[in-house]
Amino acid sequence: MSNAVVPAIINVDVEGPLISRHLYGHFAEHLGRCIYGGFYVGEDSDLPNAGGIRLDVVEALRALNIPNLRWPGGCFADEYHWMDGIGPKDQRPAMVNTHWGNVEENNHFGTHEFMALCELLGAEPYISGNVGSGTVKEMSDWVEYLTRDGDSPMVRLRKANGREEPWQLRFWGLGNEAWGCGGNMTAQHYADEARRYGTYCRDHGDNRLYRIAAGANTDDYAWTETLMKTLGDLGCAYRPQPFYQALSLHYYTIPGTWQDKGDATVFGTDDYYATMVKAARIDELLTGHSNVMDCYDPGKTVGLVLDEWGTWWNVEPGTNPGFLYQQNTLRDALVAGLHFDVFHRHSDRLVMANIAQTVNVLQAMILTDPDSGALVLTPTYHVFEMNKGHHDAASLRVDIPSGVPTRQVGEQTLATVSVSASRKDGKVLVSLSNLDAAEPVDVELDLRGGTVTGARSRILTAEKLQSHNTPETPDAVAPRAHEQVTATATGLRVHLPAHSFVTVEARLA
């Protein structure tokens, strides 16, 4: 029996908004083994390191062209006092990480270590300042310490700690989840605080901060509206405001309940489809928050930053519940692929997105063994790698005139085929997902406005949705060349096996 054929039209000569590379951003919190053991092992470690930073992790992330890294939280950001994390390590005061496992934080990984990590990665730093338990002066001093040149109290302190030149720093978060762990504030109270904190986070010299206000959770559109209103009258011609230039949004894919989120590797087909329905909701949410922002800012000058997204499962059995360590299967990879298709379609408003989190926490790129230190790349890592051609490419609209195949999941309808495309350097990159757990499908790409001279395709799939990588089987889910792509009179026909993610790079004449 032949499988379904879905026609998809792409006008390769009609370029849409640029897909910022920052949609492929990352997040590293002082949480569980993300920083300690994940990124940072200390200078005395047997693992190859530079100033304590794991070089195998750096190498793996550089291969993704990691564009930015958010730090130090998350919830941790609003109880972090940056001055405790500078100077000689043996003199740095310790603290208790009350959000994450009640463990002691020795502050050995601080500002200098984070900025060194970003330099090694070639990634832009994104620092979240402390609004919840900090002060305006503390945040303002941190910005001065990082970005001011010449001579000033904070500059002298930085120089005394071994850094002569200021760093270039753009992305600055004004707290995190102010509606919850970041201070349990009301929307209006926080919005006023964001204006105040944003005001004193100065642009020193030629450094220009891009201040990101702590935005809404999921579908809290009222929060977004309050932040937009409080930004003030943007008028017809946008007058740059000094307080905040963007708002964030957090959305996690949690198919179960908050108490029982579901298992990362032991799940059935129904659980899988429920997950995909939850993941697909990101489109509704980005549309909703963008619509609210459009009312106040039709020129789209204020950015939307989804600085926490990804799957959230029950922790792996036997691990600290406060460490949020979870495995990562082909299902997680398909969630990522689906998110990126949606991100590409929203690239007129969505300027950044950060998966939570990069190493050993939630939907990670990399898992490291706590005993041997062995590093494993997750299926999600491979989606980031396969999609990196979309970074800073022009988005291309994909039309599916017959409509996409769907599946009924309870009362929800899940589109089981997802496609997005972009153009850069004379090449078109098309990402395609078949979310159906059992049925293959063919997508016939009708590429109009250009002549295809060649194509290269890769596929990420596995026998089972539950397949995942371990130190013993590191390549159980890994990309391979995909041969089932054939030329047609108008473009390319791409075969998508059940539960697969495929990229096709087509060269144009």
Nearer to ligand AHR, 357 or 378 (CB): 357
Closest distance between ligand AHR and the C-beta of residue 444, in Å? 40
CA angle 234, 240, 244 (to 5 degrees): 90
Among residues 32, 74, 110, 303, the one that binds ligand AHR under rule CB under 6 A: 74
- Choose one: 71-79, 145-153, 284-292, 416-424; the region binding ligand AHR (CB under 6 A): 71-79
Binding mask 29-58 for ligand AHR (x = CB under 6 A): x-----------------------------
Q: CB neighbours of 354 closer than 8 A, spacing ≥ 6?
A: 25, 26, 27, 68, 70, 126, 305, 306, 307, 308, 309
Closest distance between ligand AHR and the C-beta of residue 111, in Å? 19
Nearer to ligand AHR, 174 or 496 (CB): 174
Active site residue 439: no
Distance, CA of 473 to CA of 377 (rounded, Å): 11
**Which tokens in the block code for residue 449?**
């406005």
Tell me: does residue 25 bind ligand AHR (CB under 6 A): no
Site size toward ligand AHR (CB under 6 A) is: 10
Closest distance between ligand AHR and the C-beta of residue 75, in Å? 4
Closest distance between ligand AHR and the C-beta of residue 104, in Å? 18
CA angle 404, 405, 410 (to 5 degrees): 120
Among residues 176, 290, 329, 503, the one that binds ligand AHR under rule CB under 6 A: 176
Distance, CA of 120 to CA of 28 (rounded, Å): 15
Nearest to 284 by CA among 215, 219, 351: 219
Give how far the C-alpha of residue 318 lies from the chain's centroid of Cα atoms, to the nearest Å: 27
Closest distance between ligand AHR and the C-beta of residue 82, in Å? 17
Question: Do the beta carbons of residue 314 and residue 245 sit within 8 Å?
Answer: no
- Choose one: 73-81, 145-153, 366-374, 397-405; the region binding ligand AHR (CB under 6 A): 73-81
Name the DSSP class of 399.
Answer: E
Closest distance between ligand AHR and the C-beta of residue 252, in Å? 7
- Choose one: 69-77, 190-198, 341-349, 478-486; the region binding ligand AHR (CB under 6 A): 69-77
Active site residue 177: yes
Nearer to ligand AHR, 126 or 145 (CB): 126
Question: Do the beta carbons of residue 210 and residue 250 sit within 8 Å?
Answer: no
Question: Do the beta carbons of residue 39 and residue 359 sit within 8 Å?
Answer: yes
- Whether residue 405 is preceded by a cis peptide bond, meaning omega within 30 degrees of 0, is no
Q: Taking each helix axis from N to C terminus, what angle separates 221-230 and 187-200, rounded to the nearest 10 degrees?
A: 40
Give me the DSSP letters along 304-344: EEEEEEEE--PPPTTS-GGG-----BHHHHHHHHHHHHHHH
Tell me: does residue 356 bind ligand AHR (CB under 6 A): yes
Distance, CA of 18 to CA of 390 (rounded, Å): 9
Tell me: does residue 215 bind ligand AHR (CB under 6 A): no
Binding mask 261-300 for ligand AHR (x = CB under 6 A): ----------------------------------------
Residue type, 109: F
Q: Which residues of 431-463 are buried (b: 16+ CB within 10 A; e: fewer)?
A: bbbbbbbeebbbbbbbbeebebeebebbbbbbe
Q: What are phi and psi of 78, to 5 degrees?
A: -85, 5
Among candidate residues 177, 284, 316, 444, the one labeled active-site is 177
- Residues 306-335 close enough to bind ligand AHR by CB under 6 A: 308
Among residues 75, 276, 350, 367, the one that binds ligand AHR under rule CB under 6 A: 75
Closest distance between ligand AHR and the C-beta of residue 73, in Å? 5
Closest distance between ligand AHR and the C-beta of residue 361, in Å? 7
Distance, CA of 336 to CA of 332 (rounded, Å): 6
Tell me: does residue 129 bind ligand AHR (CB under 6 A): no
Tell me: does residue 177 bind ligand AHR (CB under 6 A): yes
Among candidate residues 105, 144, 193, 308, the one labeled active-site is 308
Binding mask 221-260 for ligand AHR (x = CB under 6 A): ----------------------------------------
Closest distance between ligand AHR and the C-beta of residue 214, in Å? 9
How far lies 471's CA from each of 46, 50, 83, 358, in Å?
18, 23, 38, 18
Among residues 52, 67, 72, 73, the one that binds ligand AHR under rule CB under 6 A: 73
Catalytic positions: 177, 308
Residues at the interface with ligand AHR (CB under 6 A): 29, 73-75, 176-177, 308, 356-357, 362
